[in-house]
Amino acid sequence: MECKNSKDINLEELKRQRVRLHESSFEPKEIYRGYADRSLYINVTTNEVKVKKISNDMKEKFTGGRGYGMKYLWDAVNPDTRWDSPENEIIIAQGPIGGITQYPGAGKSYVVTISPLTDLPVDSNVGGFFGPLCKFSGFDALEIQGKAENDVVIFIDGDNNKVIIEEAPGECTNSHILAKTLTEMYADSEEDKMNVSVVSAGLGAEHTRFGILNFSHYDLRRKECKLKQAGRGGIGTVFRNKKIKAIVVKRSGIKGDLNNPHDLDTIIKLGIKLHREIYENDTKQCWMRVHGTTQLVDAMNAHDLLPVNNFQYGEHPDAPKIGKNSFEKIFDRSNVDGCWYGCTLQCAHGITGLEIKTGPYKGQKIFTDGSEYETLAGCGSNCGIFDPYQVSETNFYCDTYGLDTISFGTTVGFVMECYNRGIIGKEVTQGLDLNFGNWEAQMELMHQMARGEGFGVVVGQGIHRLKKLFVEEYGADKEFLHDIGMEVKGLEFSEYISKESLAQQAGYGTANKGPQHDENWLIFMDMVRNQIPTFEDKAEALFYYPLFRTWFSIMGLCKLPWNDIMPADNHLTDEPAKVPEHVENYIALYTAVTGNDFSEEEMLLQSEKVYNLQKVFCLKMGKGLREYDYIPYRAMGPVTVEEYESRSERYDKHLKDFVKIDPDGMTVEEKIKELRKYRESQYQTLLDAVYKRRGWTKNAIPTIERLKYLGIDYPDVVDVVKKFL
């Protein structure tokens, strides 16, 4: 359902069109030490709604957030389940620390489903108020299964302890209008809008494999719904396939003690300390409160790490146009740009009055969130586009249509290179001139995705399927497409050039859900600062950081306040990359919320249980072995002559210093070949070291001993692993 403008919405008419399918009440439940210890299960095929108790074993082994999501999904699906099978679930879960208002970054939800891109379990984190409001309504997780016949809205009323499912034919599907419509519909007053949060997707999610979920929160000052995205892996596509138009939660009376923590005093003191650190240091460090993540465009460009023209190059002279200085002027920063109460790091900026030039909202002046780094790099530089207003519009439409800016940008970059090289022509693109830099063509592709027509729908299937199509239907060179198609396991790369960082290459390759940087981001440690020179050092980093960062996902925390703000004396510590004082904060926070004694070792162990379950889950779904950790060569080194020549001095030196070959007299093709042989062999050696450190076999399979050590040697988990050992 498309509509032009939120001002045209008639709430009474929309309510009149509703058909109630289910209404039930649940017992209220206070949170105790961070947990409600129950989840809400909703089946949209049968409209069954039930409150499930979370067992002590589940809590002990999987902790919360992504851990709960993975376990519920594991129990729900079988190896033949695909993204659009009715038994596939979408689980939205918080964690025990999630929802505290005092420590920055404590409003994250973690969403899990079987991905339409990878056929694997995918997890994606998202801000916004939904997670905390859902938890304070009495649920640690929300588990959605089944497929509705017609579009439905699910309402979780945490004030009156009710769940209502209604057919909702009238509401606009696109998120910027839908979130505002439903917020107004369910709130009793302007101030009450802060107590409502909406999960929605958009028209683009219906016709592509990389649909997202938008999680809203109401900005009282701007009087706008801000949207944060569970972006990776196509969760919005699953959402719309289930014919869910939106999930709404309402819970009023938010206070700082709703988690009923063991030691509120410690939480408040830690919170005030970090607020002060941000107040004093942000403009000396990352400038998140001013530039958000846009400052990364400049930083990545300066280190040759910014993807340009489908990851061919790492810098571009026009990159600053979509960097921090541009957005400092374009953002209408407010002092409350956090995505949950108490996040003073406030990276979530916005643009008011952006004039839209294309598509159904052409001519309107709208409010939009962001832009964020990944969007600027993926939809901007990676497609050869360097106009901040154009990329902001791309960002707006991606959000409202429910499209992942990373998969969209990386996929369109790939298609543009195929078009530029003549691998596909206008007969394939259906007349679109997809040269790098052609923003109008990029936007037309996106509008086609929303309309469900044209080449846009083809592109919306993602790089993995496009490669097959271009090879089988249009005679493209399979090996070359494999080299330049930036995907692993079916998921598109996030926006960092990893050519000169072996550790980052393996970080991308071994990431359970596909090449996303939220498991680890090791480029600076590895390439810039040379802090992890040996294979063992890199393997240790690839053990520690994915587990450390998994911990945020099982707690309901955001990663940014860990290392995008640091104590002033952090550089004097033994391991500045770990930000030891903040790790201590997290350990103290966990104890303060749950009352359990805790250490860094236990933190990693908690994560390792979840991480290994997810790994075995990948095996269960048929894609967990070593071969699925291989990455396209463009993520390792130069594929083409022009790529080599653009950095010939660096690559020649690499040949001399590491490969021990004198490049003088060699052709560029010969040099590319020798460099490739060396780098691919290095990658394989590192995989061996990483698997060994993780307690896996050389074929990337967790051993039975490891599973026993982790306490997740359930019979059905062991059965999966046994088949491969």
Partner 1 sequence: MKIVATKPELCIGCKACEEACVKVLFKDTDTEKSAIVITELGNDKFDINVCNQCGECIEICPAQAIYRNKNGVVMIDKDKCVHCYACAGFCPTLSMRYHKEVTGPFKCIACGACTRACTTGAIYMKEV
Task: List interacting residues with partner 1 (CB under 8 A).
Answer: 101-102, 191, 194, 220-221, 254-257, 265, 268-269, 271-279, 334-336, 338, 341-342, 344
CB neighbour list of residue 77: distance below 8 Å, 6 or more residues apart: 85, 87, 88, 89, 114, 621
271 vs 359, beta carbon nearer partner 1? 271
Buried b (16+ CB within 10 A) or exposed e, 641-659: eebbebbeeebbebbeeeb
95 vs 271, beta carbon nearer partner 1? 271
179 vs 268, beta carbon nearer partner 1? 268
116 vs 338, beta carbon nearer partner 1? 338
Ramachandran angles phi, psi of 216, nearest 5°: -100, 160
3-state class of 405 per DSSP? helix
160 vs 335, beta carbon nearer partner 1? 335
255 vs 723, beta carbon nearer partner 1? 255
The least CB distance from residue 341 to partner 1, in Å, is 5
The least CB distance from residue 603 to partner 1, in Å, is 25
The least CB distance from residue 194 to partner 1, in Å, is 7
Q: Tokens 């690839």, residue? A: 542
Of the candidates 279, 269, 343, the one whose C-alpha atom is nearest the C-alpha of residue 584 is 269
3-state class of 461 per DSSP? coil
Q: What is the token pair recorded at 639? A: 């594929």
Ramachandran angles phi, psi of 553, nearest 5°: -75, -20
Ramachandran angles phi, psi of 604, nearest 5°: -65, -40
The least CB distance from residue 591 to partner 1, in Å, is 17
The least CB distance from residue 267 to partner 1, in Å, is 10
The least CB distance from residue 622 to partner 1, in Å, is 45
The least CB distance from residue 272 to partner 1, in Å, is 5
- 8 Å CB contact between 244 and 148: yes
The least CB distance from residue 191 to partner 1, in Å, is 8
102 vs 501, beta carbon nearer partner 1? 102
**What is the chain's alpha carbon radius of gyration, rounded to the nearest angstrom?**
24
d(CA 242, CA 636): 39
3-state class of 39 per DSSP? strand
The least CB distance from residue 561 to partner 1, in Å, is 12
d(CA 591, CA 18): 46
271 vs 515, beta carbon nearer partner 1? 271
The least CB distance from residue 251 to partner 1, in Å, is 12
412 vs 565, beta carbon nearer partner 1? 565
348 vs 687, beta carbon nearer partner 1? 348
CB atoms within 10 A of CB 15: 12
The least CB distance from residue 515 to partner 1, in Å, is 34
d(CA 130, CA 226): 12
257 vs 602, beta carbon nearer partner 1? 257
Residue type, 539: A
d(CA 620, CA 236): 23
194 vs 225, beta carbon nearer partner 1? 194
Residue 210's alpha-carbon distances to 83, 254, 426, 629, in angstroms, are 12, 34, 24, 21
- 8 Å CB contact between 677 and 669: no
The least CB distance from residue 342 to partner 1, in Å, is 3
The least CB distance from residue 199 to partner 1, in Å, is 21
Q: How many helices (H) and strands (E) does the chain have?
A: 30, 17
CA angle 344, 324, 435 (to 5 degrees): 130
CB neighbour list of residue 112: distance below 8 Å, 6 or more residues apart: 66, 69, 70, 72, 73, 89, 90, 91, 93, 121, 122, 123
118 vs 344, beta carbon nearer partner 1? 344
Which pairing describes strands 224-230 and 491-492: parallel, antiparallel, or unpaired?
Answer: unpaired
218 vs 436, beta carbon nearer partner 1? 218
- 8 Å CB contact between 140 and 37: yes
The least CB distance from residue 294 to partner 1, in Å, is 22
CB atoms within 10 A of CB 10: 10
* Exposed/middle/buried for residue 342 (C-beta within 10 Å: 0-12, 13-18, 19+): middle
